Structure 1
Amino acid sequence: MTSIDVRPTTPETDPKSSTHNYRLLWRWHFYAGVFVAPILFVMAVTGSIYLFKQPFEAWSQRDVREVAAVANPVPLADQVAAAQAVKPGVDIRAVIPPSGPDRSTRIIFQGADPGPFADGISVYVNPGDGQVLGVVDDAGTFMATVRKIHGELMAGVAGDRIVETAACWSLILIATGTCMWWTTRRRAAPKKRTRASLRRLHMWTGVGAGVAIVFLVLSGLPWSGFWGDYVNKAQAYFDSGYPEVTSTSTVSGDLSHHPDAKVPWAATNLPVPESEAHHGGGGGVLQPGAIALEAALAAARPAIRNCPPGECDLKMLLPAEPTGVYTVVTDHYRDPSAGQTLHVDQYSGKILTDYGWNEYGVLAKTVELGIAIHEGRRYGIVNLLVMLGACLALIGLIVTGVWMWWKRRPKGSVGAPRRPANGRTTWGVVALLAVLGLLFPLAGLTMVVMLVIDRVVQKVTA
């Protein structure tokens, strides 16, 4: 249960030894709530909004994304050239061909922000006549702002660490809240009706939505900077991530973070092969002598197993250096197991690597599936509604928890639960917190800080 649950149980009214454990649980539940409630509230609100990114942007940008049905599109290279005329001298990050005959071509250029949640600038081109339909600064869209608040509080790396710490602390809230509920589930409710109603609402919301909230937190952590790095190291150590490819370069970096121009999470650190010796040719967009975009896409298409229009986008990441490759990614809206990544030699058109779900390890598959469910797109409307319900439940837990604390706090006091008089029965609680602190290092570090603050406050108020 995720919030501040302040209850008036005392050793005098409940002489059982479990009261000591309950007091310690209550105290940590309180501190965790004070520390993370505002951040979790922001994350829950922005997360519930971001679930609707795809339909919202399809509607709000329909003037540049939709065109009259095109039977004979102009060459892709000409479309890219038209986009480059609008953004001269700016690096191209990705090209997204039309997903259907009535859709435009999207060319994503490097934006001004190089951060971990960097967005580019998208130029939309009509494939029928090669005319530019419009330019969208992806960093300035409504959903981009929502995502930056959700992932980093619009504060860069520092914000990312704060969000990650708050997410980890929410697990402490859930663990302590669940233990408190289990300990007191047969006790009588407070006599005052308002407080009893709030407690019941808080309790049953936490019990009903606790599993979904834990899933939201755990499936979102691989995106974080600190814990996400540990996940990458773990999958490398247990050989449970991506297949081996001999190379010195990877596709990680800005391309792996733009939501519409990225490879799958499981492939962000995958080694990338290098293009072979220069073969001549022409029609390349970035590198002299590289084959045309159509040729690279045509070389990849026979190997693409499943990417039906309307259900999947094809994305092309372009080579940025003479030894680079064309990277072709199939991005399914719902099914991560249907995704595929291919690397194509930019001079010969030879497919150098082709990997997808079958090549991923167990951990990489788990994370990919978790991300799809987290974003509410794996199992259609049911998935979306469940994730939306989890976000709304988290908001409800925070509101009811803060409300209970406000009604119970003594005037002129923070209202923190008193420390247990006897610590001999609290080792189980300490073990629980220690395990969570070890599994989630940022939470463990801040837990130590909270212990120090608690000791200082105790001495000052003694």
Structure 2
Amino acid sequence: MTSLEVRPERTEPPSPPSSSSPSSSSSPSSPSPQRYRAVWRWHFYAGLFVAPIVLVLAITGAIYLFKEPFEAWRYQDVRTLPAPVAAPRPLSEQIAAARTAHPDAEVMSVIPPAAPDQSTRVILSGAESGPWAQGVSVYVDPGTLRVLGEIDDSATFMRVVRTIHGELLAGTVGDRVVETAACWTLILIATGVHLWWRGPARRRRRRRGGRGALRRVHALTGVFAGAVVVFLIVSGLPWSGVWGQNLQKLQDATGSTVPDADAFARTSTVPKLSGELSDDPDAKVPWAAERLPVPESADGGHHGHGGTGGALQPGALPVERALATARATLRDCAPPACEIKILLPEGPEGVYTFVSGHRADPSLDRTLHVDQYSGRVLVSYGWEEYGVLAKAVEQGVALHEGRRYGTANLLVMLAACLALITLIVTGVWMWWKRRPRGRIGAPARTTDRRTAYGVIGIMAVLGVLFPLAGVTMLAVLLLDVLLLRRVPALRRAFG
């Protein structure tokens, strides 16, 4: 519903856009032309400004849906072994073998093989720094300890696609731009539905060819795909900077419970490392566990330093023994649909962290913290601890990524991306065909103040629900009042 043109010949006379249409052409039961014009003007400018960004998001999102099959094919030479390994070497030895490729690099996380014919992935710190920095993945044959190869995760094709999709290669500023465009797309859909349902386009006068054909394609695409597009946008907002953080705060205030303290008593009730897990892109901690308090291991008289580089503390359990303890709790994590990711203890009070990630069903995901000395499970956090909001977000994320219900889910999300592309292309095309020379060709302002205030009130509500859209909405209003109406050249250009 990102149309930039909706049958202008029925709402604007041939005179300049600043003049108003006579209302006598509308029947008494038809909607107010003033209200229609006010909604159309907001729809027009929103579509004009966010169309390029949303087009990029739709294209990159469609590509990223195929990340897993693409990377399984692209990196099969280092991920797949010629024959299954019957007796793998201890995981600690595999980690040591991987570190020979980069002796000075720290171990970010370890992903054991999900099948006997797969390699072990050891992710070491790369050249980048910061909480979301990507590492270098070193792949090791678990039977021979031979290093099969390494991949710079910050430079892969899908990593670039994801960075464009999430932040337009512009860091925090890009993240805010993407979030603003996504929120405005929801407003575009709402105003587009109003224009289609209540406006002159609902009249049965149809044209064949030209703008009439484009309008029909645009309208039908919006009608049939609008609900899925709305879901696609809303389910992606939890990853955004402003709206996502506010949602996390709402979850903290109203939603999730804490891990079962009776079954898994924590050694520390202070969330000393709260939020640290969510900053590791390779750990892929579930959204609901991103703010999970991280306990401490009981030192038990052991002292030492390090741990992040791969060397464990004196007296600490080898990683393979800690993994064996964790597997007893992670019985539902069955390969190849589910894989386990491991974060090594950081310092003498650090813990082993195990994250089981199920590809299709987020209700089977679980996050464990294990005492590095005793092997005792300190925290087990999974679906039963999630609140209603957290469960909704986790299911939404799985659907958004096209993995919840297999191929059918992927195809529906791909169709939503293609629908967005169609809406943008047809909307811009209609605007290009109808724009007057030397002017933007925007719909005329409403001359009814009550109508204008009513539409602005509705937009204000949407602005409160989506703060970045509200801020930009206010900026547009100020620009219109202080500049566009006062400068003759701009007034003629923008209408």
TM-score, normalised to structure 1, is: 0.95
> How far is the alpha carbon of 1:18 from its aligned partner?
1.5
**Alpha carbons 2:303, 2:348 under 8 Å: kept:** no
For the aligned residue pairs, the C-alpha RMSD in angstroms reads 1.9
What is residue 225 of structure 1 aligned with on the other side?
A: 241
**Separation in 2, partners of 1:90, 1:249:** 25
Q: Which amino acid aligns with 1:38?
A: P
Counterpart of 1:250 in 2: which secondary structure?
A: coil
Correspondences of 1:384-395 after superposition (within 5 Å): 384-395=410-421
> How far is the alpha carbon of 1:93 from its aligned partner?
1.1
What is residue 18 of structure 2 aligned with on the other side?
A: none
**Alpha carbons 1:117, 1:148 under 8 Å: kept:** no
**Alpha carbons 1:189, 1:196 under 8 Å: kept:** no
**Alpha carbons 2:2, 2:47 under 8 Å: kept:** yes
Distance 1:89 1:241, change over 3 A: farther
What is residue 360 of structure 2 aligned with on the other side?
A: 334
Correspondences of 1:214-363 after superposition (within 5 Å): 214-240=230-256, 242-243=258-259, 246-250=269-273, 252-253=275-276, 255-256=277-278, 259-278=281-300, 285-289=310-314, 290-363=316-389
**Separation in 1, partners of 2:281, 2:65:** 13
Counterpart of 2:340 in 1: which secondary structure?
A: strand
Counterpart of 1:277 in 2: which secondary structure?
A: coil
> How far is the alpha carbon of 1:171 from its aligned partner?
0.8
- Structure 2: which 5+ residue stretches go unaligned? 13-20
Distance 1:3 1:322, change over 3 A: farther
Residues 1:451 and 2:466 aligned together: no
> How far is the alpha carbon of 1:287 from its aligned partner?
2.9
**Alpha carbons 2:44, 2:443 under 8 Å: kept:** yes
What is residue 396 of structure 1 aligned with on the other side?
A: 422
**Separation in 2, partners of 1:69, 1:111:** 30
Counterpart of 2:123 in 1: which secondary structure?
A: strand
**Separation in 1, partners of 2:179, 2:132:** 15
What is residue 435 of structure 1 aligned with on the other side?
A: 461
**Alpha carbons 1:99, 1:310 under 8 Å: kept:** yes
**Alpha carbons 1:235, 1:241 under 8 Å: kept:** no
Counterpart of 1:5 in 2: which secondary structure?
A: coil
Residues 1:89 and 2:99 aligned together: no
Counting matched residue pairs gives 460
Distance 1:221 1:114, change over 3 A: farther
**Separation in 2, partners of 1:158, 1:241:** 33
Return 11-20 or 407-416, whichever deviates more.
11-20
Matching residue within 228, 237, 243 for 1:212: 228
**Alpha carbons 2:112, 2:341 under 8 Å: kept:** yes
Q: Which amino acid aligns with 1:317?
A: L
**Separation in 2, partners of 1:331, 1:149:** 25
Residues 1:420 and 2:430 aligned together: no
**Separation in 2, partners of 1:209, 1:388:** 11
> How far is the alpha carbon of 1:317 from its aligned partner?
1.0
What is residue 16 of structure 2 aligned with on the other side?
A: none
Residues 1:374 and 2:410 aligned together: no
Distance 1:109 1:417, change over 3 A: same
**Separation in 2, partners of 1:372, 1:427:** 40
Counterpart of 1:297 in 2: which secondary structure?
A: helix
What is residue 15 of structure 2 aligned with on the other side?
A: none
Distance 1:152 1:135, change over 3 A: same
> How far is the alpha carbon of 1:305 from its aligned partner?
3.0
Residues 1:127 and 2:137 aligned together: no
Residues 1:58 and 2:72 aligned together: yes
> How far is the alpha carbon of 1:260 from its aligned partner?
3.9
Greater Cα radius of gyration, structure 1 or 2: 2
> How far is the alpha carbon of 1:12 from its aligned partner?
2.6
**Alpha carbons 2:38, 2:452 under 8 Å: kept:** yes
Q: Which amino acid aligns with 1:97?
A: P
**Alpha carbons 1:336, 1:372 under 8 Å: kept:** yes
1:65-102 alpha-carbon deviations (Å, 9 max, x no partner): 00120000011111100111111121111110010100
**Alpha carbons 1:241, 1:364 under 8 Å: kept:** no
Q: Which amino acid aligns with 1:58?
A: A
1:180-210 alpha-carbon deviations (Å, 9 max, x no partner): 1111253144646211110011011011111
Residues 1:31 and 2:45 aligned together: yes
> How far is the alpha carbon of 1:237 from its aligned partner?
1.0
Matching residue within 165, 172, 189 for 1:174: 189
Distance 1:115 1:19, change over 3 A: farther
Matching residue within 93, 96, 109 for 1:78: 93
Return 380-389 or 104-113, whichever deviates more.
104-113
**Separation in 1, partners of 2:207, 2:453:** 32
Distance 1:115 1:376, change over 3 A: farther
Counterpart of 1:459 in 2: which secondary structure?
A: coil
Distance 1:241 1:366, change over 3 A: farther
> How far is the alpha carbon of 1:262 from its aligned partner?
2.0
- Structure 1: which 5+ residue stretches go unaligned? none
**Alpha carbons 2:302, 2:348 under 8 Å: kept:** no
> How far is the alpha carbon of 1:279 from its aligned partner?
6.0
1:261-297 alpha-carbon deviations (Å, 9 max, x no partner): 2211111110011100236599x84332221010110
